[in-house]
A and B are shown apart, each in its own frame.
Chain A
Amino acid sequence: MTDVVSFPAGASAKPARRDIGIKRRYAAERRFRAYGIAALSFGILFLFILLYSVVSKGYTAFQQTMITVPVEFSEQIIDKDNERATDPQKLVTANYPLIARNAVAKVLGVAETDRSGLRAVNQMISDGVRGQLRDMVVANPQIIGTTQTVSLLAAGDIDSAFKGQIDLSVSENNRKVSDQQVGWMNQLAESGALGKHFNTGIFVNGNSSRPEAAGVGVALIGSFYMMLIVLVLALPIGVAASIYLEEFAPKNKFTDLIEVNINNLAAVPSIVYGLLGLAVFINFMGLPRSASLVGGLVLTLMTLPTIIIATRAALKAVPPSIRAAALGLGASKMQTIFHHVLPLAMPGILTGTIIGLAHALGETAPLLLIGMVAFVANYPTTPMDPSTALPVQIYMWANEAERAFVERTSGAIIILLLFLVVMNVGAILLRRRFERRW
């Protein structure tokens, strides 16, 4: 094949060559190559378009428009008849949005008799101030009657308008903010009262029907519980199963069946696991709907094949000489595997596990079926409590009609992608740091 063929000297005299279509063939070659480059660039181009569209829509979600004004905690409004000593409910049910509205109206100079003006002011403030001011008063009833400077959440539409996401050139009737409100918004912004602040709410708040108050806090906790359950169950079971199949299993019909089975389970559509969870864990075993425990179990079954396949590859990569040496020194087969083979295969196993976990973290479809689409605003304290998950939260927000939710959804996607990046980079580093080449 590599023999050098020496041509006779006459060959260099270059007689007229017969046309064998070399030009055409080379053109075809170049075309073929161009197709390859085009295909590759198409894929990579769309990766960047996807990431760009998510980031450009979502980075504003990490900022939130706030209106910082002096708020008078008027005793007149909160507790007119001074009953708070006897009836603590009084402080909880007081009309806090009115206090906020009055504060903003005062700064804007809207008269107390101007009904429509006051209504327009009210629409500029999020209803989330109710909870915000209530918590302040309940924590410290002393502030009743005083005036405090408070940063109030602006309403979702004002937030969108201030971030320039609402086209103000459209006729006033066809958009959600009036010219009057835009004027006030600019007035407040010039005086420095209205401005963008870092949005901690998106990380800590629960779900809300108001975009400005909605966050992924509950979803993060739910996803965390599920990942924990997957890790605790899938890793030991997966490793044990792979050790048996790789090291002990005799070659017979049964192990063949398990093998084919695992390969098929890895390719079963994820939504089928959701049906399994619904039928077995919820209907048959009676576990609660929407609980992260059920979600974790379903994702465990889904991740198991991935972990088993990765672990078997890692075990296979440990050279037989290690086993032979351990056996030769008198170790039993079990000792050989647990003391020598498994530690050496660990980096590969952990890498596979992290990738499996990352996959489970982004999985949505099975969770929809076991009721994790429920509207959950409170933090779950145990895995048995109703909860939701990060990708499911994204799905729920994607179905919301309001403009401000598009931004929130993209923001939540950025958070999800960041988690995935961290996990995958971790897996890569782990592999680089500990992987041995034999």
Chain B
Amino acid sequence: MSTPLILLILAIIAVVCYVVGTRHALAIAGGLSSKLHSRPGYYGSFVAICAVLPAAIVLAAWLIASPLYINSTIRGGFPEDVKAKSEAEQGLAFGMVNSLARGMDILTLDEIDKVGANPAELRSALGAKGVALAGDPEPYMVESAGDLNAMNKISNRVMTAVVLIVALIGAGLSYTRISHRFRARNRVERVILGALVVASSIAIITTIGIVMSMLTEAGHFFGRVPAWEFFFGTVWDPRFAAAGAAASEGQFGLIPLLLGTLYIGFVAMLVAVPVGLFSAIYMSEYASPKLRSVAKPLLEVLAGIPTIVYGFFALTTVGPFLRDLSSSINGIATGDFANFIQAQSVLTAGFVMGIMLIPYVSSLSDDIITAVPRALRDGSLGLGATKSETIKKVVMPAALPGVVGALLMTASRAIGETMIVVLAAGVAARMQLNPFEPMTTVTVKIVSQLTGDLEFTSPQTLVAFALGITLFVITLCLNIYALFIVRKYREQYE
């Protein structure tokens, strides 16, 4: 039976168990639910859970374990000369066996008889059925495919039987436990609580997944390229064209990428911090409630616009505008209409990213400035300071730790931002300080290393994971430090 069908049957069993359990509980109580420890529905739920939960766990375990077991048995059954070949070739042979097995399932018995043991004919017969084979199958493969199909069939039958038996046993056992005194609600609630715990640990699992997956792949990379060459190398030249050729491994220096990332992030912060901070100050200290209720959502719209839209805006509007502007400035000043700002440049990417970051700075610092106690302001105003003096000398110093935390969070966003820089910053990994020239970032290189057609094991693709873990660690540190500052600050006034 196929897995969806088994799941459907389990669902039906659950419904039936619920109804039967509920009725049985009511019957025991003589129709008076007040005589039972729990509401009748809980007894039904208890029976349903006892029936389905263990069965589902068995099903999941079987689905994971049986292919592993069967595959290793089949590969173990390959002739010795095949086993002597490389891992990749064995994998290829196994792939063939798999497709063969799939195809032989579709063929009718007649057709199999007709084809007989002639591999070439088998291939064309399968091709006609829509199962493409990579090459002519060898006799041992046909044999293995037959074994594979037989084992899969047996495994499937046993699995169906075991799952259904477990479900029925669970239902039967729990059914007999129903009585006046039985605390069905407590049991059901314990299961629900377990489910809640599992759900909340997914956050942890995700983090572990991120760290583990990147560490393993980056570990493979560092097996090929020494770590110090990656972290301290000043040349980025992965040599895509020569990928695969053993003689020419590229150079993977992180420094130019990191420099580009920080430079573009710095330009973005130069735009976002003054604009965001002054907007936040104006909205929290000066603006009338009416203006605030219009301006704040408008600024937040900027945060809701997908970054790809900003990237496109930079690529088609801001970049060409800056380029043309620079060429006319140059023309007026020197008579030579050559543009000194490239369309893709640090300035373009940084400026547009800065616009994207304005709402992050403004709404985070708005919250922090509003949280500064009223009494501090009143004290300062009462001593004769003007509003701006109060803000500069009293409110901002009090809010400073929080604002710094907010700026750190914004900076981590700038460092991790991808789509704007992919479209507007350029791909040339260079070490230079002219903001009018293109530079590239860590995120751009992650995208460009992984959207090619290279095999996964080459250092050219694996380097993306090393870049990823670097990015992850940098943003993680910034965020943890920011959270630490914000928390510490919050305690001051409470």
Q: CB within 8 Å of B: which residues of A? A: 1, 25-26, 28-29, 31-33, 35-40, 42-44, 46-47, 49-50, 53-54, 57, 236-238, 240-245, 248-249, 257-258, 260-265, 267-273, 275-276, 278-280, 283-284, 301, 304-305, 308, 332-334, 358-359, 361-365, 368-369, 373, 391, 394-395, 398, 406, 409-410, 413, 416-417, 420, 424
Contacts and interface: CB of A to CB of B under 8 A. Distances in A.
Most chain A CB neighbours (cut-off 10 Å) among B203, B216, B358: B203
A368 B362 CA distance: 30
A279 B217 contact: yes
B161 interface: no
A420 B216 CA distance: 37
A395 B317 CA distance: 16
Interface in B289-344: 295, 298-299, 301-302, 304-313, 315-317
A40 B282 contact: yes
Given A32-B391, A267-B413, A368-B451, 6 more contacts: A36-B286, A238-B199, A240-B200, A272-B471, A391-B308, A395-B423
B192 A334 contact: yes
A391 B306 contact: yes
B416 A43 contact: no
A63 B418 CA distance: 32
Contacts of A280: 209, 213
Interface SS of A by simple majority: helix
B17 interface: no
Ranked 6 nearest A-B pairs via Cβ: A269-B416, A362-B306, A36-B282, A39-B278, A279-B213, A240-B199
A271 B214 CA distance: 12
Nearest to B277: A39
B447 interface: yes
Contacts of B304: 358-359, 420, 424
18 contacts: A33-B388, A36-B281, A43-B275, A43-B358, A44-B298, A49-B317, A241-B199, A261-B207, A264-B483, A271-B471, A275-B464, A276-B213, A278-B450, A301-B206, A368-B447, A395-B308, A398-B316, A416-B309
A420 B306 contact: yes
A269 B286 contact: no
Contacts of B358: 43, 46
A431 to B, nearest CB: 12
A272 B416 contact: yes
Contacts of B465: 275, 279
Nearest to B315: A398
Contacts of A47: 298-299, 301-302
Nearest to A413: B309
A268 to B, nearest CB: 6
A39 B276 CA distance: 7
Contacts of A261: 203-204, 207
Interface in B198-232: 199-204, 206-207, 209-210, 213-214, 216-217
A40 B443 contact: no
Contacts of B451: 368-369, 373
B460 interface: no
B398 interface: no
A39 B274 contact: yes
Contact of A413 (B216, B287, B312, B388): B312
A269 B281 contact: no
A264 B479 contact: yes
Given A275-B465, A364-B306, A394-B312, A241 B389 contact: no
Contacts of B192: 334
Contacts of A271: 416, 418, 443, 446-447, 468, 471
Contacts of A31: 388
B185 A276 contact: no
A130 B210 CA distance: 48
Contacts of A409: 312
A290 B274 CA distance: 41
A30 to B, nearest CB: 9
Nearest to B412: A267
Contact of A268 (B315, B316, B416, B423): B416
Contacts of B443: 269, 271, 365
Contacts of A308: 203
Contacts of A269: 412-413, 415-418, 443, 471-472, 475
